[in-house]
Amino acid sequence: MQEYWELYMKQIDGNIASVLVNAGISAELPSEDKYFMGFIKIAMKNPNDKGLISQEEEASLSFIEDKIEMESLRYRIGNYVGKIVSNGEMTFIYYLKHNFEWADMVQSAMKEFSDYNYEYGSKMDPDWEIYHKLLFPTSIEWQIIQNHKVCDNLKAKGDSLHLARAIEHKVYFETAEQRDSFVERIELESFNVKDLIEPNENTPMFGLGFYRQDKPFYYDIDTLTLHLIDLANQCEGQYDGWETSVVKI
């Protein structure tokens, strides 16, 4: 199984949640020997005021996570695919080759942590529904993940992120008419067209590059890109990300 982990934030049942997911397996179809989803839900003893992991408890919870993974490998019971931290609870999610040893594995892993309350269980999930619908980011959440990676990279190069500069975007459409409709909308918002990308041997889509002076700070760029995704969707297009240059004070 390919390992590629992403950590991001989302809302689950009205509560803020930190989600860690192995996104590397998203392209893999469920194999015949992984029909069960197993979970372990642990009540944290000292969460922070948002219901997430506090610094005081971080080391203990990390040790529990390592112990669970070690026991799952010893039992050869399945694959660890994600973790959800929300509302004072930490939930580990596995996909299992079988579930008749799941209880034994959990109890073996947790026997050293009698001061923690926990519950566990398993259910059939041949289509990996929990993974795809709960753990894996939606297109909006994925865009925010990518936004913050670019912001982190700019910041590491000395950019304050608070200075406006030209931010370039790309979007693609199935028809030139859809693209023209999108151009009309963004020009009303002071965006400038940089280039028109015609269908070619690499892509059959009608592309558009455009830009505007904006700040690439985390919350600002999230608001901007989500707005552009919405505009693109209204014109049956697909937003394809942004880029900008480093600006130092």
Note whether 82 and 176 are same-domain residues. no
Q: Does some domain include residue 223?
A: yes
pLDDT for position 2: 74
So what's the pLDDT on residue 138? Answer: 92
248, part of any domain: no
Task: Tell me: do 148 and 171 sit in the same domain.
Answer: yes
pLDDT digits (tens, 9 = 90+) for 99-119: 899 999 999 999 999 999 999
Q: Is there a single domain that holds both residue 9 and residue 129?
A: yes
* Residue-level pLDDT at 234: 97
Residue 203 structure tokens: 């892509």
Does 129 share its domain with 146?
A: no
pLDDT (tens digit, 9 = 90+) per residue, 74-93?
999 889 999 999 999 999 99
CATH number, domain at 20? 3.30.70.120
Q: What is the pLDDT of residue 29?
A: 56
Residues 74 and 177 in one domain: no
Say if residue 122 is in the same domain as residue 160: no
Number of domains the chain contains: 2
* Residues above pLDDT 90, as percent of the chain: 86
Average pLDDT over residues 56-83: 95
Pair (169, 84) in one structural domain: no
Same domain? 182 vs 162: yes
Question: pTM for this one?
Answer: 0.84
In this structure, the answer to whether residues 158 and 229 fall within a common structural domain is yes
180 and 87 belong to one structural domain: no
pLDDT digits (tens, 9 = 90+) for 132-163: 999 999 999 999 999 999 999 999 999 999 99
Tell me if 23 sits within 8 A of 6, measured CB to CB: yes
State whether 121 and 179 are in the same domain: no
CATH code, domain carrying 181: 3.30.70.970
Domain termination residue (choose one: 135, 161, 176):
135
Query: Which residues are CB-neighbours of 126 under 8 A, at least 6 positions away?
Result: 30, 35
Within a domain: 249: no
* Residue-level pLDDT at 249: 77
182 and 121 together in one domain: no
Query: What was the pLDDT predicted at 34?
Result: 63
- Structural domain ending residue among the three candidates 135, 161, 189: 135
Question: Residue range 48-64: average pLDDT?
Answer: 96
The predicted-structure confidence for 164-204, as pLDDT tens digits, reads as follows: 999 999 999 999 999 999 999 999 999 999 999 999 888 89
Angle, helix 218-234 to helix 139-156, in steps of 10 degrees: 140
CA angle 196, 143, 140 (to 5 degrees): 110
Identify the CA nearest to 211 among candidates 248, 244, 162.
244
Query: What are the pLDDT digits (tens) for 214-243?
Result: 999 999 999 999 999 999 999 999 999 999
> What pLDDT is attached to residue 32?
58
Q: Which domain holds residue 225?
A: 139-243
pLDDT tens by residue, 25-47: 876 655 555 689 999 999 999 99
